[in-house]
Chain A
């Protein structure tokens, strides 16, 4: 069996509140269950043929109204202090933009570096601002005990501070359709100098290409890989290997036709996925915001997938 031990400051905070309330509730459950079982045995008909005529007791009613009220208020308060901590990111936090879309994650750092995994330095607070390009998703890092829905049209925030290096799961927790269960990635916590090196190196690469990533990189960053393979295996969408120049059966306005997958076809498909539907696949490809350059790069990349 596996237990995801808490990590990070948030992990400690949440676990403290959790075990505090858990202790009270286990005690209450034990008490209720014990009394119930004890009474049923002690006052069974054989042993106690004559029931007592009791209708209630005002003092008991008052006690078991007030005591639980105080207990739940304590729980509420404890939960609230933890929440205040979890919701207030320190000002010097590393800022990362999180973009969610069916069914992949993209992380964008302030210097323009993009990554499909969330790399962060150990011991530094990280502040995420989360947006979605399509439906609602949920950003969840169980080891850090943090979660935030990612809602289209809104920017939600979340912060955490890793306390040890390691690789930790990220799951999507708001049901978002077919591949919801595969919308996963990792938080990779690395030593500070390693992180600095990585982010600078990637930053330089971007400058070298003048901010123009190649087709392969775009294919990852724009989330195409979530639905398309480049090695011939079909995923949610058809593989793009060997697509260029192929005869393709597609639905146009619901009518089945054969088209040649030329450059114009691929361009249109990426820009306005609703124009065509490849026969045998669900019509779910999302439109992507792309610059003209990015589009050209992508189309070239796909053309070369022989």
Chain B
């Protein structure tokens, strides 16, 4: 029945929502080892945390609406920007695409019935939920909310009186979850591919998540060790990072960025995978340069692991180190550029329908390009001296993370929504929400680039009056952006509640997830498919 000719019949098997397992009610979810249920569990928590972090971001912008605006005290502001960062990075952006969509779709896209280690998969979610709970607990116990910035730079993090140990312990646990998810995704990709699913027939989303999973496995232990050392230094006074005790604060920064720079690729690679899925489907055309895109994922993941020192150009690291790190930083831009060119070339001579998923994917390309190109500017050694630790950098990484990963996430959500929930949302309304979001996004973040170029340092709860106008514009942008987000998610919720029933293959995709019912049955495939062609052959 399918274009792939791999499945013999549409079978009547019940959707995974109706599955009757050992447990009932909520337990049927939080104790389920079904990769699809686990993916949705992540979705629920991540959206919850995302809204908390957006609220904190809203408060920060409100505080900065005018110089001396008396919304909150400095300590409060310092705690809020710290929490905004920690929640967004560790609880939302890092896990979002691999843990939600990787979980839900990677096994289906390679023709598997579940992950390689379903129980470890569930354990990962529990670790994630506990890590998050510990981070939140730290806000209300000994010393109160952390005020260190999400970077926990020593020696400040060793000396401040707030509850640093518990917070870093929470992040430590989150790291465990991330490592286990990585192991699961790598093993699944290696071991559970259906017959005929050769490496170059893998959907590019799988390549993106696969490359990411390696980074999760290899880089995350470093941050775990680093945070363990912070705890040890705080509890036992062993001088690892504090120079007053014979430690080295630059060592901390190296260890921190050895993980946290690759973490940026953990955020962006899966989103790039989503874009590579969406563009061919809505252009009705094979992806341009499949291998170039697949290998550039691997190149980004590996070279990207060697550029962490570009966060430290002005830290006092040796000039020689800075030169090498700057060179590698420029080189890692090339594979990203290759991807962008291939995506744009895929549109050429296609038969394009600008449906919501494609709209979000193309917005990804535009905003991510601004993020990447501003990255080149600040990656130049001379210019970095000026722009480092200013609002320029804040603008830059919001273009990368929100403009890139965030819009990639929205593309994924709107692309796979009918498959995940078996319902369709109102596409016209999504476009309306997109317009608001896109405008708000640029009004919020573009002024930050100018502010930074004019010398506005980051992490300031107040600022001199000459910076007022741009801060005001940015704050207004934050309101528009939030309105856009509410619109878009409200529309999806409406789709869930009273949307039409979705077809099995509403976008006429050729990859395997579109060849099974929406929503998928518990075991995805009644018979494991035999794959005879690539994921973008629409025929």
Residues of A within 8 A of B (CB): 1-4, 10, 13-14, 17-18, 21-22, 25-26, 28-29, 32-33, 35-36, 39-40, 43-45, 48-57, 60-61, 64-65, 68-69, 72-73, 75-76, 78-83, 85-87, 134-136, 138, 140, 142-143, 145-149, 151-154, 156, 169, 171-182, 184, 282-284
Contact = CB atoms under 8 A, between A and B. Distances in A.
A44 B388 contact: no
Given A49-B351, A147-B389, A173-B388, A79 B161 contact: no
A54 B74 contact: no
15 contacts: A2-B467, A48-B350, A51-B350, A51-B351, A54-B285, A55-B288, A56-B289, A68-B338, A134-B155, A140-B455, A147-B386, A149-B315, A151-B249, A175-B149, A181-B463
B365 to A, nearest CB: 6
B331 A43 contact: no
B382 A17 contact: yes
B340 to A, nearest CB: 6
Given A87-B319, A135-B155, A82 B380 contact: yes
Interface residues of B, number: 89
Contact of A64 (B316, B322, B337, B362): B337
A3 B455 CA distance: 9
Interface in B394-427: none
Contacts of A56: 288-292, 342
Most chain B beta-carbon contacts within 10 A, residue among A148, A169, A180, A284: A180
Contact of A21 (B351, B365, B380): B380
A182 B289 CA distance: 52
Given A32-B344, A82-B380, A82-B381, A43 B350 contact: yes
Given A142-B386, A146-B385, A173-B388, A152 B244 contact: yes
A45 B353 contact: yes
Contacts of B286: 53-55
A61 B385 contact: no
Contacts of B284: 45, 51
B228 interface: no
Contacts, number: 274
A13 B156 contact: no
B381 A79 contact: yes
A103 B514 CA distance: 59
A177 B154 CA distance: 12
Given A64-B341, A136-B249, A55 B381 contact: no
Contacts of B466: 2
B250 interface: yes
A154 B337 CA distance: 39
B482 interface: no
Interface in B451-468: 453-455, 457-464, 466-467
A179 B461 CA distance: 9
Contacts of A177: 78, 147, 156, 160
Interface in B170-216: none
B454 A179 contact: no
Given A65-B338, A152-B244, A178 B344 contact: no
Given A35-B344, A54-B286, A76-B380, 15 more contacts: A2-B466, A2-B469, A13-B382, A29-B370, A29-B373, A51-B283, A54-B349, A57-B288, A60-B345, A61-B289, A79-B379, A87-B319, A140-B457, A175-B459, A177-B160
A36 B347 CA distance: 7
Nearest to B537: A53
A86 B292 CA distance: 39
A234 to B, nearest CB: 12
Nearest to B465: A2
Nearest to A69: B334
B352 interface: yes
Interface in B333-381: 333-334, 337-338, 340-342, 344-345, 347-354, 362, 365-366, 369-370, 373-374, 376-377, 379-381
Contacts of B454: 2-4, 142
Contacts of B288: 54-57
B382 A176 contact: no
B369 A29 contact: yes
Nearest to B332: A72
A180 B351 CA distance: 55
A153 B376 CA distance: 32
A145 B382 CA distance: 9
A50 B351 contact: yes
Nearest to A5: B454
Contacts of B453: 18
Contact of B74 (A2, A52, A55, A178): A178
A262 B390 CA distance: 45
A179 B75 CA distance: 9
Interface in B100-133: none
B432 interface: no
A199 B384 CA distance: 33
B478 to A, nearest CB: 19
A148 B319 CA distance: 12
B351 A64 contact: no
A55 B341 contact: no
A69 B342 CA distance: 16
A152 B316 CA distance: 11
B373 A28 contact: yes
B380 A61 contact: no
B153 interface: yes
Nearest to A148: B314
B334 A54 contact: no
Nearest to B327: A76
B204 to A, nearest CB: 13
A156 B316 contact: yes
B326 interface: yes
B383 interface: yes
Given A28-B373, A282-B161, A36 B249 contact: no
Contacts of A44: 351-354
Given A25-B377, A32-B365, A178-B78, A152 B243 contact: yes
A72 B377 contact: no
A284 B74 contact: no
Given A4-B455, A69-B334, A151 B315 contact: yes
A17 B383 contact: yes
B470 interface: yes
A146 B314 CA distance: 9
B330 interface: yes
